[in-house]
């Protein structure tokens, strides 16, 4: 009844990695051409940094994570 059970279970991490890589490739494939020209590359990196900073400070304010004592 349990023939090959652990072998089957051991395949799940590989499946998970495959799914994650596939999703990342499909998300970043349309963005890759933007990095071929220096102007759009600088604009794209600036946008990503600004987005990260915005989310960081928004979550910090929402969760009340001030470091003041």
What is the number of structural domains in the chain?
1
68 occurs within a structural domain? no
**pLDDT the model gives residue 69:** 54
Full pLDDT tens readout for the chain, 69 residues: 678 888 889 899 999 999 999 999 999 999 899 999 999 999 999 999 999 999 999 999 999 887 665
Q: What are phi and psi of 67, to 5 degrees?
A: -90, 5
Size of the chain in residues: 69
Q: How far apart are CA 40 and CA 44, in angstroms?
A: 6
Residue 31 counted as domain residue: yes
Segments forming the whole domain that contains residue 48: 5-62
- The pLDDT, as a whole number, for residue 37 is 95
Around Cβ 31, how many Cβ atoms within 10 Å?
10
In a domain, 14, yes or no: yes
Does some domain include residue 69?
no
In a domain, residue 16? The reply is yes
Any domain includes 67:
no
């Amino acid at each position: 009844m349990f023939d090959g059970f652990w072998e089957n279970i051991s395949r799940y991490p590989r499946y998970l990695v495959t799914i994650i890589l596939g999703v990342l490739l499909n998300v970043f494939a349309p963005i890759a051409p933007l990095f071929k020209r220096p102007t759009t590359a600088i604009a794209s990196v600036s946008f990503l940094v600004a987005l990260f900073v915005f989310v960081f400070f928004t979550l910090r304010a929402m969760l009340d994570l001030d470091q003041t004592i």
